[in-house]
């Protein structure tokens, strides 16, 4: 696992979750009992976890001039570090709710003020930023105790049958599950989910072809906890580990020029970068990043699962022809902070092989024996025709409407669909990497893409799609 040295770094130190003044279970958050942090909680009720919920400043920005971008990006990354540090203090009992939130508010206030100052110098200071410094505690369901072998056995049996009574997975073989994993309520047996996939019917001018790209399964071990789209120039800007295919050199310090000069794992020469959070078995084993930023220091623990299969395909539009993506277009699908931000930008899709007409947004699937876990990222397919990125990394692209058409002012582009398959032992506890305070919730899953196809290769893709051909 390569970790390159660079001059500018924001360093953090986040330990794996431990005991707090009340109680901590394997749910990834602080667990409160009778005298907990939430008014009205009864000791006879099931315990709940708490995490830190802060307004997402970056998502609210709509216009960041180029001369302010570096300073704004650095301070947005600092806000993430502040929340992660505060969550570590909460989860280890080194700070209690009111005092912790007060200190965090002061920290955030200074950083948000710096963002406002940078924007003010470059043009105009946006209204409302100063009101985004306050955070609160958010409740979440707690996992069952980590040393419940009966629950583990029940989970394995239910998973093998794919039945309605599937329990939350624990580690296969009856070994204790790792602390910091998802809650029991984050899992559901895929056999109990009703088919829910609807595809718009193609119209007369539809683009029905496809263009597939084979970039492997990250056999070269390209991992890092950076996010060059959201936090360029900042090491560990994601606070979780990313799997990469395609462009071989992508990290926080990549530029358009360095990406264009890089080699690729894609067999057709596509230099685009495709990345997503790793999926881990919560098996208590020390992975190579157990003491590293993005790994154990950020509460992402356990064995990183290597995908069994990665499929990358660009598809057409059911109502119109598609136009070429510009080189260096950046797209993020889903929201890494959707557990606290809410589902507005969430776009997770979890399923099992043989059941992919049933997609889960906020649950992990418990797959029956012989069926594999599937993550699908269906990216935005409408573009504003001008920008390769936007201040919040969202408003320059959009999802099509229910009928497949793009809203006024946007045009259809090839739709990237990534399908990632994992062989997960029946009954195993697993979780996606996340920001520490997001508690590894399935709804936080997300994918990132930078188009670095040559203009010629993109033109070939567009022709295949518009002509109705399946090209590989």
Tokens representing residue 25 in the block: 């279970």
| 396 part of a folded domain | yes
Bridge pairing between strands 364-366 and 187-189: parallel
- Sheet architecture: strand order including 397-398: 397-398, 382-383, 411-412
Verify that 79 and 180 share a domain, yes or no: no
The three-point CA angle 86-92-97 to 5° equals 50
For residues 43 and 33, what is the distance between their CA atoms, to the nearest angstrom?
A: 6
pLDDT, position 92: 83
Domain termination residue (choose one: 141, 169, 196): 141
Verify that 229 and 314 share a domain, yes or no: yes
Q: What residues contact residue 11 under an 8 Å CB cut-off, 6+ apart?
A: 235, 236, 293
| 39 part of a folded domain | yes
pLDDT, position 140: 82
Helices and strands (H, E) in the chain, number of each type? 7, 22
Verify that 87 and 178 share a domain, yes or no: no
pLDDT, position 4: 44
pLDDT, position 29: 52
pLDDT, position 48: 53
| 167 part of a folded domain | yes
The phi-psi region of residue 153 (left if phi > 0; otherwise alpha if psi is between -120 and 50; otherwise beta) is: alpha
Domain termination residue (choose one: 79, 111, 141): 141
Query: Quick check: 438 and 340 in contact, CB under 8 A?
Result: yes
Verify that 93 and 204 share a domain, yes or no: no
Total structural domains within the chain: 2
Q: What is the 3-state secondary structure (H, E, C) of 131-190?
A: HHCCCEEEEEECCCCCCCHHHHHHHHHHHHHCCCCCCCCCCHHHCCCCCCCCCHHHEEEH
Bridge pairing between strands 309-315 and 382-383: unpaired
Verify that 168 and 131 share a domain, yes or no: no
Q: What is the Cα gyration radius of the chain?
A: 22
| 13 part of a folded domain | no
For residues 217 and 259, what is the distance between their CA atoms, to the nearest angstrom?
A: 19
pLDDT, position 14: 33
Residue 54's domain comprises: 30-141
Sign of the four-CA dihedral 365, 369, 371, 374: positive
For residues 265 and 223, what is the distance between their CA atoms, to the nearest angstrom?
A: 14
pLDDT, position 97: 81
| 7 part of a folded domain | no
Verify that 113 and 169 share a domain, yes or no: no
According to DSSP H, which parts of 297-432 are helical? 338-341
Q: What is the pLDDT of residues 24-42, one digit of tens each?
A: 323 345 544 322 332 222 3
pLDDT, position 141: 75
| 11 part of a folded domain | no
Tokens representing residue 111 in the block: 């950083």
| 41 part of a folded domain | yes
Helix (H) or strand (E) holding 253: none
Query: Quick check: 249 and 266 in contact, CB under 8 A?
Result: no
Verify that 133 and 167 share a domain, yes or no: no
Tokens representing residue 102 in the block: 């007060």
| 85 part of a folded domain | yes
The DSSP string of 436-460 is GGGTT-GGG-EEEEE----HHHHHH
Verify that 115 and 197 share a domain, yes or no: no
The pTM for the full model equals: 0.85
Taking alpha carbons only, the member of 263, 306, 259, 258 closest to residue 281 is 306
Verify that 280 and 387 share a domain, yes or no: yes
Q: What is the pLDDT along the chain (472 residues), one digit of tens a residue?
A: 544 444 344 433 333 222 222 323 233 455 443 223 322 223 333 345 789 999 999 999 989 999 999 999 999 999 999 999 999 998 888 887 889 999 999 999 999 999 999 999 998 888 899 899 999 999 887 754 442 333 333 444 444 444 433 444 443 333 233 345 689 899 999 999 999 999 999 998 999 999 999 999 999 999 999 999 999 999 999 999 999 999 999 999 999 999 999 999 999 999 999 999 999 999 989 999 999 999 999 999 999 999 999 999 999 999 999 999 999 999 999 999 999 999 999 999 999 999 999 999 999 999 999 999 999 999 999 999 999 999 999 999 999 999 999 999 999 999 999 999 999 998 899 999 999 999 999 999 999 999 999 999 999 999 999 999 999 9
pLDDT, position 3: 46
For residues 395 and 58, what is the distance between their CA atoms, to the nearest angstrom?
A: 12
Query: Quick check: 314 and 472 in contact, CB under 8 A?
Result: no
Verify that 126 and 166 share a domain, yes or no: no
Taking alpha carbons only, the member of 171, 437, 152, 140 closest to residue 299 is 437
Verify that 121 and 168 share a domain, yes or no: no
Verify that 170 and 98 share a domain, yes or no: no
């Amino acid at each position: 696992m390569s970790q390159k040295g660079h001059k500018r770094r924001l360093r953090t130190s986040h330990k794996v979750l431990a005991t707090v003044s009340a109680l901590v279970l394997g749910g990834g958050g602080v667990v409160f009992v009778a005298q907990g942090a939430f008014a009205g909680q009864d000791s006879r009720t099931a315990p709940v976890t708490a995490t830190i919920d802060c307004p997402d400043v970056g998502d609210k920005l709509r216009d960041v001039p180029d001369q302010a971008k570096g300073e704004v990006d650095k301070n947005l990354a600092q806000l993430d570090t502040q929340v992660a540090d505060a969550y570590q203090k909460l989860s280890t009992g080194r700070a209690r709710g009111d005092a912790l939130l007060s200190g965090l508010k002061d920290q955030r206030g200074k950083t948000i003020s710096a963002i406002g100052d940078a924007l003010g110098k470059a043009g105009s200071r946006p209204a409302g930023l100063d009101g985004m410094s306050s955070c609160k505690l958010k409740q979440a369901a707690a996992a069952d105790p980590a040393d419940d072998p009966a629950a583990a056995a029940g989970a394995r049996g239910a998973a093998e049958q794919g039945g309605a009574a599937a329990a939350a997975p624990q580690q296969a073989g009856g070994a204790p599950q790792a602390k910091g994993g998802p809650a029991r309520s984050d899992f559901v047996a895929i056999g109990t989910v009703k088919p829910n996939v609807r595809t718009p019917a193609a119209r007369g001018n539809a683009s029905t072809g496809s263009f597939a790209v084979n970039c492997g399964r990250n056999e070269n071990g390209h991992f890092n906890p950076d996010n060059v789209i959201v936090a360029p120039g900042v090491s560990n800007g994601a606070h979780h580990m990313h799997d990469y295919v395609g462009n071989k050199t992508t990290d926080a310090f990549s530029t358009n020029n360095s990406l264009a000069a890089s080699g690729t794992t894609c067999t057709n020469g596509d230099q685009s970068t495709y990345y997503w959070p790793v999926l881990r078995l919560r098996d208590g084993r020390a992975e190579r990043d157990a003491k590293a930023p993005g790994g154990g220091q950020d509460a992402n623990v356990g064995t990183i699962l290597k995908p069994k299969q990665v499929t990358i395909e660009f598809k057409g539009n059911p109502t119109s022809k598609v136009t070429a993506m510009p080189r260096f277009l950046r797209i993020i699908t889903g929201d890494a902070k959707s557990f606290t931000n809410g589902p507005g930008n969430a776009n997770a899709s979890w399923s099992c092989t043989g059941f992919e007409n049933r997609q889960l947004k906020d649950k992990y699937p418990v797959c029956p024996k012989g069926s594999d876990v599937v993550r699908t990222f269906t990216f935005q397919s409408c573009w504003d025709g001008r920008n390769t990125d936007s201040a919040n990394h969202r408003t320059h692209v959009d999802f099509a409407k229910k009928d497949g058409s793009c809203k006024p002012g946007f045009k259809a582009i090839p739709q990237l669909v990534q399908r990632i398959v994992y062989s997960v032992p029946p009954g195993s506890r697993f979780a996606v990497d996340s920001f520490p305070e997001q508690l590894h919730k399935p709804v936080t899953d997300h994918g990132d893409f930078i188009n670095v196809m040559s203009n010629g290769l993109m033109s070939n893709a567009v022709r295949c799609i518009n002509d109705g051909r399946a090209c590989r």
